Structure 1
């Protein structure tokens, strides 16, 4: 779809995603907050695979680790896995209709959440069950709006 990206849009979208990832929300809504940075990794890896890849995703994940005060490398590994998986199917993803893209977003961000959950469990966290998948579901719901908005902004400024 888009081969040229607007670097200011990229920088601002990542900055906004990092801000939304650490923004204060009511405690009941915290487990439903979309994975904003993972959505940006997904978006920019699909739209600009030559400019955005595994290493940049891992660097952003490392920055998220610092901002969230999680053990270093947890989100970095998860973001790198998401970027790698998106890079393997990015040409097909562009042709999928929006509902199918939402399903892929749920699947890949669910993998992201599982990687983070497994690492945190191995480090001694006591969170059990499948509640850690709620952010993947809400991210899939947010995906159509996010992609349309970023496509329009990027098309105008790119």
Structure 2
């Protein structure tokens, strides 16, 4: 648990995740791109639940909707749901070893991806299959590195 959060690290990580979410990515590997904003919402809700909550996650999701030109509220709902679920289990999550944390990241980002996929399908998208779950898997694989990196940055600058 972080006692003091570094607001510059917080701001930079959120801005970087938004940029990475809309940045160009090789077309062949596009579906493997992690859900960057979802990872940041997970991390900051997990590490600083008093400062980062559902409303801020919802606002960031709305900003992502604007940046991606998706229907307003799709990512906002998904990010708010991630924050809610992390807030619900964050005390237990702190005691989990890293492999179990990775599994939780996969599950929660998977729920996020399923919700977004369901809403887009309802609105008329034509993609089928389970390729939409790849960002949850790559996010879970990146989680240990991201967690250690942000913890160290926050400790040094906080």
TM-score (structure 1 length as normaliser): 0.99
After TM superposition, the structure 1 = structure 2 runs for residues 94-109 of structure 1, keeping only pairs within 5 Å, are 94-109=94-109
Structure 1: gaps spanning 5 or more residues? none
Task: Name 2:143's counterpart in structure 1.
Answer: 143
Matches within 5 A, 1:4-15: 4-15=4-15
Alignment partner, residue 59 of structure 1:
59
Alpha-carbon shift at residue 89 of structure 1 (Å): 0.4
After TM superposition, what 4+ stretches of structure 1 lie above 4 angstroms from structure 2? none
Residue 94 of structure 1, CA deviation: 1.0
1:130 corresponds to: 130
Map 1:1-158 to 2 at 5 A: 1-158=1-158
Q: Unaligned 5+ residue runs, structure 2?
A: none
In 1, Cα distance between the equivalents of 2:41 and 2:59?
11
Find the aligned partners of 1:156 and 1:117 in 2 and give their Cα distance: 39
Q: Cα RMSD (Å) of the superposition? A: 0.5
TM-score, normalising length from structure 2?
0.99
Look up the SS of the partner of 2:67 in the other structure.
helix
Give the length in aligned residue pairs. 158
Task: Please state whether the residue corresponding to 2:11 is helix, strand or coil.
Answer: helix
C-alpha displacement of 1:95: 1.1
Instruction: Report how far residue 3 of structure 1 moved.
Output: 2.5
Contact 1:3 1:47 in 2 (8 A): no
Cα distance in 2 for partners of 1:145, 1:117 equals 27
